[in-house]
Structure 1
Amino acid sequence: MSNLAQTLKQEIARIARKEVREDVTALRKAASTHRTEIAALKRSVKDLQVQLRATQRAFARAVPVQAPEEASSRPGRKPTFNAERLKVKRQALGMSQAQMAELLGISSLSQWKWESGQVTPRASKLARYFEVMAMGKREAARQLESA
């Protein structure tokens, strides 16, 4: 009797392995296809990132930052950012850092970092910085109210 049971058990195991092998083969093929597609997508994303960086660099070169007119009409040194001058100007205008940040169109944290000299403004923000540095107290207050 044990011989029959053992034979039956072996036959059931053989048939089960055969069915599982077919399923596993299909899954392996699908996994391989998915890995190939993922690799192609990763290459595509990398290429697009390279193109984006190149386009951003080209755009940055094509659109130069312009300083205020009165600064560019005078001969001599080009105007530059100075953290201490920004702090002195803010105090002269009688503003808090939050108000000055709103006037410059930046966050309060950026304002604090600019004033402390930890960070210098991006080229896109320098034009606004020069405009604010040329403002008087009344004009700055007027712009704050209208914002």
Structure 2
Amino acid sequence: MPNIAAVLKDEIARIARKEARAQTAEFKKASAQYRAHIAALRRRIDELERQVKRASKQGVKGNSAADEADDESQGPARRFSATRLAAQRRKLGLSAADFAALIGVSGQSVYKWEHGEARPRARQLEAIAALRGIGKREAAARLAQLQGDGEATQ
């Protein structure tokens, strides 16, 4: 005959599992609903972000006349190429530090621009564009003037 204590123990464990399952079933159901709701919200956020991105791209392309007038007052949009910047500096026969002095930035900034680690700001792009039309002699003269001004202030 089976040990009554073992049978009783097994029956108590079975009933306890059944009760625990009944108690946790409600929480499992609620948790599944919450997960489904969160997933739906994430999909909605992703869709809204895509719509915002599309709208901002269309907004950039479809400027109104007033926006275009504002853009013209700020000057033309400047493109930047790291290789062209390096070529321009070499064409002028300047070191990165000298080229930076002409622009009004540090030599490290020019180094990072040329290596694609950073991009110049709009004001700096204007300064770079202003140097585009000068030759070696004028660049040397401007540099000498800057260095002369630096010595005069010291």
TM value normalised by structure 1: 0.54
Return 25-34 or 85-94, whichever deviates more: 85-94
- Quote how far apart the aligned CAs of 1:50 are: 0.4
2:98 maps to a residue whose letter is M
Q: Equivalents in 2 of 1:38, 1:93: separation in Å? A: 53
2:125 maps to a residue whose letter is Y
Measured on the aligned residues, the alpha-carbon RMSD in Å equals 4.5
Q: What residue in structure 2 maps to residue 37 of structure 1? A: 37
Q: What residue in structure 1 maps to residue 76 of structure 2? A: 66
Q: Which one scores higher on RCO, CA 8 angstroms, separation ≥ 6?
A: 1
Aligned pairs for 1:1-147 (under 5 A) are 2-61=2-61, 62=63, 66=76, 82-83=84-85, 84-88=87-91, 91=94, 95=98, 103=105, 107=109, 110-113=112-115, 125=122, 128-135=124-131, 137=142
1:63-85 Cα deviation digits (max 9, x unpaired): 667158xxxxxxxxxx9853312
Q: Equivalents in 2 of 1:21, 1:133: separation in Å? A: 74
1:59 and 1:113, CA in 2 relative to 1: closer, same or farther beyond 3 A? farther
1:111 maps to a residue whose letter is W
Percent identity reads 23
- Quote how far apart the aligned CAs of 1:102 are: 6.4
Work out the number of aligned pairs and report it: 123
TM value normalised by structure 2: 0.52
1:30-59 Cα deviation digits (max 9, x unpaired): 331122122112212211220232133134
